[in-house]
């Protein structure tokens, strides 16, 4: 998780929190960049496809609701666009960050 956070900071993100509890469930990383609130799921898998498949539609739904709750209830984040990202971690590889891994209109992959 720390490696994922460092990777995001190198990309210009501001980390808001790790393992953030919400009424809908825990969010691995909450980060912000510009006017976007990134709700980031971190998966340790051998490849990217497996990491994407590890997140089902129910998990995407709760992550989206949790992100909207954080945006709506946190001063300074109310006007931010909420986006679901994935960071895939694999042994001996750099982290792979996929912004908007599960777009609102596409549903879960």
Go through the domains of the chain in sequence order and give each one's CATH number. Answer: 1-35+68-109 (3.40.1350.10)
pTM of this structure: 0.87
pLDDT value of position 47: 76
Per-residue pLDDT at 107 exceeds 70 = no
pLDDT value of position 105: 56
Q: What is the mean pLDDT of the chain?
A: 87
pLDDT-derived band of residue 59, with 50, 70 and 90 as boundaries?
confident
pLDDT value of position 29: 96
Beta-carbon contacts of 55 under 8 Å, excluding residues fewer than 6 positions away, are 41, 43, 86, 101, 102, 108, 109
Per-residue pLDDT at 64 exceeds 60 = yes
């Amino acid at each position: 998780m720390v490696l994922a956070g460092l990777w995001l900071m190198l990309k210009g993100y501001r980390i808001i929190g790790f393992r953030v509890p919400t009424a809908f469930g825990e969010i691995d990383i909450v980060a912000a960049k510009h006017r976007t609130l990134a709700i980031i799921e971190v998966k340790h898998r051998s490849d990217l496809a497996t990491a994407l498949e590890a997140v089902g539609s129910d998990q995407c739904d709760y992550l989206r609701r949790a992100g909207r709750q954080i945006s709506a209830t946190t001063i300074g984040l109310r006007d931010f666009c909420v986006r679901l990202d994935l960071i895939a971690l694999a042994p001996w590889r750099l982290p792979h960050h996929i912004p908007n891994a599960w777009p609102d209109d596409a549903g879960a992959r």
